[in-house]
Structure 1
């Protein structure tokens, strides 16, 4: 039985302004303990050792994706500022590179190695036991080993709200280029379980609003192929979708570009992407990867790192949310559908209270 934890400190570290649908805003600010406590603890840690903590983050894809990887890097850079850690970022676009980068980090003797996504999990599982004195962390999935700390998210809950918003949006035929068909789309990067958890919530949220809605689904097979993302998105618009959710990291740049090119609409992911193609992004499903990365580094700095544990960041913890619709509101003016925001606020409260239980893909969730 895996040991499960959900730290009160973690919940307190979440940005209070990020509440579903009502106050997303920018996610560039990574929050943890108040600044004075952070500085004091960092000073205490530095007194114990003249050498800074050496941290390596292994990415599946490249920085500059304006999405998942950039969010993770924001948390890491914040940790550099607050704790004076030594940081190395290793980027790669293939499975061979991911494995080689992880092994390189192990052999280079880093104190903490963070697998930034679930694609790294298998390589950590295979190798962490051979480096028992090294601390490992994995984000977006769970690895049950004594020197590995895992952090995962209720992306299904955030996606439920995104699906509900999309289902309501596709009925607003007074908005330019919204047709009478009740069809929405969804384009993912790699076909992996965590993205199926995204889709499970998206589908449930959409069908909560309209049980008969049609949802188009596609995978690009890559995190770094914006041309493929655009191609799949344009195809879904051709099939009648008014709005497509992006769940594709760097590939998602093409999804958002496709929305602008077709004069249609999209939903962003991970970071606040509302201004990437202003007037064409309804909202973004924010996933606080920045906080996850920051907090695991903080735990290693302060000596509270707990291997063999999993933290699960749900909607009620501030782990996921929707942005505040402000960019699209400015673009649409008096055509902006305020009822979507109001309904999402209502649904978010029902999820937090447990009145609505969002389904998980197999193997995900707080008890997974």
Structure 2
């Protein structure tokens, strides 16, 4: 699973479903079966979480010769109705619910249809029926790498602030915030040992309350930049796209095309969206989780319960230039040409070189340090806290060192 590479989103996004109760199917009559996916409010087009879920489902549909049926929720009131509509048809190998907010709805409908297999991304409940696979990710581990990268870039440039812009204040996002803070504290310690200098880097944070409002993301990032944030991690889906705009404008104001300041992307390898602005992305492989659920359902190995994917399983990670280029190479030739034109490049080599130049703004020793942290997390030598409530995240916020934070992970 570690060797899976994300798909390049733009150009591969097929149909958008725009209304509750509107079902799309790209299948043909000769298909051998069907799967269904229910999107949360906000849905497709966020270039991260929901789109990654679609890509995993569409790849599975192609690989296993299945129809893919998509259903969009316009509000929380649609969850139960959408899931029940699909379950009542009795024809899906698995019905996938995308997002923590659908946990209660899945629990209810799965109880009503015990013979139907369900999977939910980011949702869990100890009393969930045994026909539900709960796919979770160790966002805290991947975010620790993002925090280490941000903290070391700031420390190396003599800066003392980094930022994180988040979406809705829900438990899963506490894991992102906690991991990021852990990584920043680890970076302080690493830098002190390397350079013999004490550094104290503040983490500016804001929950915007939305996953689909780029203007809110931009405003939040602008506020953090004005306070001195040197790197900003976006954890807000479509809202986070505004973070990229804010950092790009800050660079243009300095007549710069490449950071720092930098942004860090999330969920998919978002580096390509604004080359020069985004230094890396914390990839959350929702596509891998969705594909796993379909594969297990089709092959008869599906089991209810929690499946958790972290650094070791390839479920999270920090994007590389090779990741981005592998995504690009998966596109049809005509789509590649159009995307290069949109991004202002004459060839794929130019795009690759630009991404490499962007990363070249950060010294090699920083990338090596982040890899060291990754290896220690994978080996179990270092454990990253994963709070799931306000009390837990507040303890992380108050911790003075990464060692203190690690105590909270026990």
Give me the TM-score of the superposition, normalised by structure 1.
Answer: 0.81
Q: Given the alignment of the two structures, is residue 16 of structure 1 paired with residue 13 of structure 2, yes or no?
A: no
Instruction: Please tell me whether the aligned partners of residues 56 and 110 of structure 1 are also in contact (alpha carbons under 8 angstroms).
Output: no
Which of 294, 309, 313 in structure 1 is aligned with 2:309?
Answer: 313
Q: Which stretches of structure 1, 4 residues or more, deviate above 6 A after TM superposition? A: none
Structure 2 partner of 1:125: 107
1:196 CA drift (Å): 0.4
Q: Given the alignment of the two structures, is residue 323 of structure 1 paired with residue 319 of structure 2, yes or no?
A: yes
Alignment root-mean-square deviation, CA: 2.4
1:321 CA drift (Å): 0.6
Task: Give me the whole-angstrom Cα distance separating, in 2, the residues matched to 1:75 and 1:294.
Answer: 5
- Greater displacement, 249-258 / 189-198: 249-258
Task: Give me the whole-angstrom Cα distance separating, in 2, the residues matched to 1:194 and 1:333.
Answer: 29
Task: Give me the whole-angstrom Cα distance separating, in 2, the residues matched to 1:243 and 1:341.
Answer: 15
Distance 1:335 1:244, change over 3 A: closer
Structure 2 partner of 1:21: none
Distance 1:233 1:325, change over 3 A: farther
1:141 CA drift (Å): 2.8
Aligned to 1:267, what secondary structure does the other structure show?
strand
* 1:16-35 pair list within 5 angstroms: 16=3, 27-28=6-7
Q: Given the alignment of the two structures, is residue 252 of structure 1 paired with residue 252 of structure 2, yes or no?
A: no
Structure 2 partner of 1:205: 183
Which of 160, 163, 177 in structure 1 is aligned with 2:147?
Answer: 163
Distance 1:29 1:310, change over 3 A: farther
Task: Give me the whole-angstrom Cα distance separating, in 2, the residues matched to 1:311 and 1:256.
Answer: 32
1:301 CA drift (Å): 1.0
Structure 1 partner of 2:14: none
Task: Give me the whole-angstrom Cα distance separating, in 1, the residues matched to 2:239 and 2:85.
Answer: 26
Aligned to 1:305, what secondary structure does the other structure show?
coil
Task: Give me the whole-angstrom Cα distance separating, in 1, the residues matched to 2:211 and 2:359.
Answer: 34
Task: Give me the whole-angstrom Cα distance separating, in 1, the residues matched to 2:321 and 2:232.
Answer: 16
Give me the TM-score of the superposition, normalised by structure 2.
Answer: 0.73
State how many pairs are aligned: 319
* 1:350-361 pair list within 5 angstroms: 350-361=376-387
Structure 1 partner of 2:37: 57
Which of 268, 292, 310 in structure 2 is aligned with 1:295?
Answer: 292
Which of 198, 217, 224 in structure 2 is aligned with 1:236?
Answer: 224
Task: Give me the whole-angstrom Cα distance separating, in 2, the residues matched to 1:334 and 1:162.
Answer: 17
Q: Given the alignment of the two structures, is residue 185 of structure 1 paired with residue 185 of structure 2, yes or no?
A: no
Distance 1:103 1:223, change over 3 A: farther
Query: Unaligned 5+ residue runs, structure 1?
Result: 1-13, 18-25, 31-49, 174-179
Aligned to 1:185, what secondary structure does the other structure show?
strand
Instruction: Please tell me whether the aligned partners of residues 2 and 313 of structure 2 are also in contact (alpha carbons under 8 angstroms).
Output: no
Query: Unaligned 5+ residue runs, structure 2?
Result: 10-29, 190-199, 252-260, 323-351, 393-408
Distance 1:222 1:99, change over 3 A: farther
1:160 CA drift (Å): 0.5
- Greater displacement, 326-335 / 195-204: 326-335
Structure 2 partner of 1:137: 119
Instruction: Please tell me whether the aligned partners of residues 271 and 287 of structure 1 are also in contact (alpha carbons under 8 angstroms).
Output: yes
1:334 CA drift (Å): 5.6
